[in-house]
Structure 1
């Protein structure tokens, strides 16, 4: 299969604009902009910016090779992992929790994937480098960003450009690497005092990679995104913005029976913000969004149908998820007391169509199978804001409603016993956290959070059967309840930064998938509820013994137990440590990263989630990587790296089994990760 460097729908000038932008003589940066480009750090791990909050710049050079999707970037944050299936679009996991336990937002809107097995999970539509900021909240320690975020909240955000005089801002990057990896990104803003126009876009592609044994792993992809926004800023405290975006992709998966032949995205948004309102009223925010994911899966665009498989003929499935919603919130402040309160709502519709033969699905009528509606109210209170002692609390109440529109279900096309029926649940969430500073160096915190989560589309509609005694998963799967204690300690000084966070939680009616008939493909699944316990910790430090040197390390450990069956909870990542060393000068830096992953023997074969199941124990492994960065001038920075320097052959624990279409054996075999890989990236800022 040949991948061209052009893709329909990508502006022809995008690659040329990026290349031209990399020549420094085309523009000069002022002193303020120069200070923003002095950071030569290649990110290997992220540290918390405040208790349970991680804030980072997703544009910074990163090792391993800069991310192709949102899940890949999240792996630099301790506690995150991804369910791997080849080159791109892994499914994110935080502390062993996946799916809608993670609330993922881009520009404060939800874009929910449509594939019944999450081939197009929400982060597969996100290009991290096109955003200005990534904010992560671990645990059920916030209620303002939506319901059900029991594992945490992930927000990809874009800043508001502001101009005091006519001008422009420009950022661009280009990357090349092993396996014909090549990426381009362009972000330009133009404006003056009354407002601005911002456009950004990216494209990324890679061929199949080779593992440490030199074997080809089906993993190629090609994707692009383009977004535009126009904003009105009549003063420094007001913004009204209208935005629109689109994108598409192809992705081949070594661990699935079909590939992603289309990931078409359509997004629209409208937001209003007003700061410094009269009296104690500090801020008003409102936004509306429309996101549509139109996803095509087939077994013929990126592979040849396997006559010995369960799909011997060309087949395709087209699924679509349209999500609309919005929120309004206000903030008030009285000295050291702050309150935020608001409402939000979301509607989502899912439909599908299928076809035998190449392209025949396009002549098949759409069938709507599910509708989701939810609305909620929330408030968060901070007492002691800006002081050494802070109490932060939050409360949220939601109404969630799901309607089953399927008339027939299953391989035998049997009548659906819940056709036309509606489920409605009242859900409550809340938290209470205490934070205490001791001088300028020490901060500790303790928080108790509670979250009630409505079963999502995959848990209600993808499973073949529901809990014992129920007619199906839609009727039988209960909402999931998480109660979790979070503890942590942070230390900051001129020479040393250190932090540790620990958690322990109880999950009532945890939604578990049981796989039957052996293997991921052709198997049946049952969704059921069990009581579970989770616990774990993350820790990190950065030591600066002398000027220019940085030594760092992070550790992440997660544990889970299925209490009903007295066995480990499945899909829990193993203990992982990262150890880094870097030397930085005014214009250049060099560094090394050692990643060590322990064996995982606490497994539950045949159990998992809608994406994957435990395949058995895994051995530990270690990889070593090198990186360097050089600031050519005030505008241009070059960074380079080599990943898996010693060409090790290894596979991640959270993984899909290799598919027989590509010659993998019938017994489950995990997909190996890339062997030795090189990359070079240029960044430009004006």
Structure 2
């Protein structure tokens, strides 16, 4: 820990010192051209964007419904969502999820969850209305944004409009019929040459929704959020930006988890600095630092098990990180990015149990037990990297990158039984990852991309240090393993995209194959017994282990035809097949084959589309994970938006028009619910929505 804080302090001092040195050399100008911070990874430039990358729709421009977190990912080809209710939702991409995906805000800010059941993933700490777009790098094809195993997801918050000075803002409100849900947000921004400030606040109140059979699903929650972003332009070529935001979740019901969230409070602070146009060889210098803290309380007070045992668990997570990067060009055709980054994750907290009934017999005096959840653990990651883009000629770009991560982990307050299982001591791992790719501009209308990436991920804190807690989709207790080897993803991908001369026809296809080393899964250990409720089933816990043989392969494809000036027809396909050879089954949480067919109409002041979603049956399952086969289903969504006045946007939508009763394969099963057996959570039935936004 002392090493981590010292390194982070040095990063900040270096950034400030570099700023002061350059500040004396650059004269201010009357008309400021603001420096663009590295919050955006993908700029729309074919020659500089990462290979096999994509940008999702700009939600702020074509919003037609109040958005839940799931809506940010459901319409992106290749994505599914892991659902435990209507709040604790994680994205899954190509059968990669959780820490296998490098999920961040604005080019590097991270906030790790405190709950071992992931009631509070990173996607819950920001309101969806604040997200302007989502950028995706589809595999371990860059080394610049932290250790990356299955891909990078960068959620970009809305930027200050530097073209107009003065006071601006917007207000929005939305309603969903299924659950009687309300959302609203107000944002104000004030812009001057030297500085700009943006503030926003939002409130969300979601009720229990009904599935297609009219059954009410416990999924309500409330959340309040606010944020302030301040930017200052020292000179024409250097900028400092501070972003502070807080989120407060209340009374969150989790249909697929054994407890509910009483409160979930998060605070995130980020500091970004950039200096450009430094010299002939050294082009720019960027520095970033961030801090997040999550305070989480969950209880079973409204669950059936409360009659036998009262349980409350207060846990917390601290994430601290930063990055320094230098962009330099030793020659006209060679563009190099070199840097250092660091991240610290620390978690602690415990569970208090008041046991009223033991072995089926009421106790005359209830007994109190205190359980260590995280056992005061931490993981530090220090990385150095270099990535170079070489323009061999006007049509070919070769990218190569190399990264080294030193990962330090330790547990400072272990339970006696956990300490007896392992020889616990501070552990240091040395991970090497890298990538090489080629992008060929065959013509103005056709691009060919081929890439290899070696992504390395050290085990997360659950996989290392959880001790007899139910953290999976099944009812097993899970036990961590601090001696796990790091997962390795050797991923190969080839793809192409293009369009006709008048953009009337657009297409894109990607094929990929991943060979895994040391893949981490939890396996039943029959030599061990349950720790809590020892007479309950299943009797034997699961322990995290490394597998020797696993792989996945798949593709994504898109084709779009524009016709009659304003109309378009679009088809998207996504398929992934995963195999765990050691257990002769699929890897867990592998989404089925999906197809989206969209017919739309789009003008500047009016747009509409109908999207038909086809999800196939999933027979390729991981039985050891508690998965069962899932039937296929089809849904239809209709969205209409209009701008009746210059600054007003109004949208309505009808989701799941045919009121289909279904569940996605990645949904968790109902857990500890009085009216539901252990079957997968069903998704919302028909839902009518309306959204109104006013800008000024």
Structure 1 residues 346 and 354: alpha-carbon distance in aligned structure 2, compared to 1, 3 A threshold: same
Alpha-carbon shift at residue 260 of structure 1 (Å): 1.6
Label 1:522 to 1:152 Cα distance change in 2 as closer, same or farther (>3 A): farther
Q: Do the aligned partners of residues 386 and 260 (structure 1) sit closer, same or farther apart at CA in structure 2, a change above 3 Å counting?
A: farther
Distance 1:481 1:685, change over 3 A: same
Q: Among 637, 646, 663, which residue is 2:649 paired with?
A: 637
Specify the SS of the correspondent of 1:499.
Answer: strand
Q: 2:303 aligns with which of 305, 318, 327?
A: 305
Structure 2 vs 1, CA of residues 357 and 590 (structure 1 numbering), >3 Å: closer, same or farther?
A: same
- Offset at 1:271? 1.5
Equivalent position of 1:32 in the other structure: none
Contact 1:483–1:506, Cα closer than 8 Å, also in 2: yes
| Cα drift, residue 571 of structure 1 | 1.5
2:466 is the alignment partner of 1:462: yes
**Residue aligning to 1:110:** 110
Q: Does 1:260 align with 2:261?
A: yes
| C-alpha distance 242-562 of structure 1, shift in aligned 2 (>3 A) | same
1:482-534 deviations in Å (ceiling 9; x for gaps): 10101111012320111011110100110012368999999732211112011
Question: Does 2:564 align with 1:546?
Answer: yes
Deviations 1:68-119 (A, max 9, x none): 22x5412221111111122222122110111111011123211100111222
Which residue is equivalent to 1:7?
A: none
Unaligned runs of 5+ in 2: 1-48, 356-366, 470-477
Greater mean deviation of Cα atoms: 73-82 or 284-293: 73-82
The question of 1:670 aligning with 2:688 is answered no
Q: 1:593 to 1:371 in 2, by over 3 A?
A: same
2:109 aligned counterpart, secondary structure: coil
Deviation at 1:415, TM superposition (A): 4.9
Provide the residue aligned with 2:519 in structure 1: 510
Does residue 351 (structure 1) correspond to residue 348 (structure 2)? The answer is yes
Match for 2:485 among 458, 478, 481?
478
**Residue 209 (structure 1) shift:** 0.4
C-alpha displacement of 1:51: 4.1
Q: Deviations over 1:219-258 (max 9, x none)?
A: 1111122111222113342211222221111321111110
Worse-superposed segment, 557-566 or 384-393: 384-393
- Residues 236/522 of structure 1: CA separation in 2 closer, same or farther (3 Å cut): farther
Matches within 5 A, 1:214-293: 214-250=214-250, 251-293=252-294
SS at match of 1:124: helix
* 2:439 counterpart residue number: 435
Secondary structure of the residue aligned to 1:582 is strand
Q: Does the aligned pair in 2 maintain the 1:173–1:684 contact within 8 Å?
A: yes
Is the Cα–Cα contact under 8 Å of residues 310 and 522 in structure 1 kept in the other structure?
Answer: no
Please give the residue correspondences for 1:267-416 in structure 2 after superposition, counting only pairs within 5 Å. 267-300=268-301, 304-306=302-304, 309=305, 312-333=308-329, 334-356=331-353, 369-384=376-391, 387-408=394-415, 415-416=419-420
Match of 2:448 among 440, 444, 455: 444
Q: Does residue 639 of structure 2 align to residue 655 of structure 1?
A: no
Indicate how the Cα distance of structure 1 residues 166 and 473 shifts in structure 2: closer, same or farther if over 3 A, else same. Answer: closer
1:683, distance to aligned residue in structure 2 (A): 2.2
For residues 127 and 500 of structure 1, do their structure 2 counterparts lie closer, same or farther at Cα, with a shift above 3 Å needed?
Answer: same
| CA 237–684 in structure 1, closer or farther in 2 if over 3 Å, else same | farther
Q: Report the counterpart of residue 84 of structure 1 in structure 2.
A: 83
Stretch moving more, 235-244 or 416-425: 416-425
CA separation in 2, counterparts of 1:228 and 1:110?
Answer: 17
Structure 1 residue 418, shift from structure 2 partner: 4.2
Q: Is 530-539 or 509-518 further displaced after alignment?
A: 509-518
Which residue does 1:618 correspond to in 2? 630
Hey, what's the Cα distance between the residues in 2 that align with 1:579 and 1:641? 17
Q: What residue is the counterpart of 1:36 in the other structure?
A: none
CA deviation after TM superposition for structure 1 residue 134, in Å: 2.1
- Flag the 1:640–1:566 CA change in 2: closer, same or farther, 3 A: same
Measured in 2, the distance between the counterparts of 1:67 and 1:312 equals 38
Taking the aligned partners of 1:443 and 1:305, their CA distance within structure 2 comes to 55
1:21-100 equivalent positions in 2, closer than 5 A: 51-56=51-56, 57-61=58-62, 66-69=66-69, 71-100=70-99
TM superposition shift of 1:159: 5.8
User: Is 2:544 the partner of 1:527?
Assistant: yes
2: CA distance, partners of 1:634 / 1:515: 61
Answer yes or no: is the 8 Å Cα contact 2:102–2:152 preserved in 1: yes
Taking the aligned partners of 1:74 and 1:254, their CA distance within structure 2 comes to 21
* CA distance, structure 2, for counterparts of residue 458 and residue 427 of structure 1: 20
Q: Distance in 2 between matches of 1:634 and 1:385?
A: 47
Give the 3 Å change call, closer, same or farther, for CA 349–649 of structure 1 in structure 2.
Answer: same
Change (3 A) 1:193 1:491: same
C-alpha spacing 1:515/1:623, structure 2 compared with 1 (3 Å): farther
Q: Is the 8 A contact 2:105 2:156 kept in 1?
A: yes
Return the alpha-carbon distance in structure 2 between the equivalents of residues 636 and 679 of structure 1: 17
Distance 1:269 1:75 in 2: 28
Matched residue SS, 2:660: coil
Q: In structure 1, how many angstroms separate the alpha carbons of the residues matched to 2:687 and 2:381?
A: 45
The count of corresponding residues between Structure 1 and Structure 2 is 613
**Contact 2:169 2:186 survives alignment (8 Å):** yes
Local SS of the residue matching 2:123: helix
Q: Distance in 2 between matches of 1:678 and 1:312?
A: 41
- Pick closer, same or farther for the CA change 1:426–1:58 going to 2, 3 Å: farther
Q: Report the Cα offset of residue 464 of structure 1.
A: 4.2
Work out the CA distance in 1 between the residues paired with 2:228 and 2:191.
Answer: 13
SS in 1 for 2:619: coil
Q: Which moved more, 1:526-535 or 1:161-170?
A: 161-170
SS in 1 for 2:409: strand
Change (3 A) 1:269 1:403: same
Distance 1:145 1:424 in 2: 21
Aligned counterparts of 1:522 and 1:632: Cα–Cα separation in 2: 63
Q: What is the rounded CA distance, in whole Å, between the counterparts of 1:66 and 1:523 in structure 2?
A: 44
Report the CA distance between 1:585 and its aligned residue: 3.5
Deviations 1:355-408 (A, max 9, x none): 3469x99x9999852011111101110011893211011110010010022331
Q: What CA deviation, in whole Å up to 9, does each residue of 1:245-296 have, x standing for no partner?
A: 2111132111111012212101112211112222132221101111011111
Gaps of 5+ in 1: 1-48, 466-470, 608-612
Q: Who is 1:603 aligned against?
A: 621
**Counterparts in 2 of 1:496 and 1:509: CA distance versus 1, 3 Å:** same
Q: CA 1:585–1:228 in 2, change beyond 3 Å: closer, same or farther? A: closer
TM-score normalised according to structure 2 size: 0.83
Matched-pair contact (CA < 8 Å) for 2:489–2:514: yes
Work out the CA distance in 2 between the residues paired with 1:75 and 1:269. Answer: 28
Deviation at 1:158, TM superposition (A): 3.6
Q: Give the stretch that moved more between structures: 636-645 or 109-118.
A: 109-118
**TM-score by structure 1 length?**
0.84
**1:172 Cα offset (Å):** 2.8
Contact 1:551 1:581 in 2 (8 A): yes
Secondary structure at 2:481 match in 1: helix
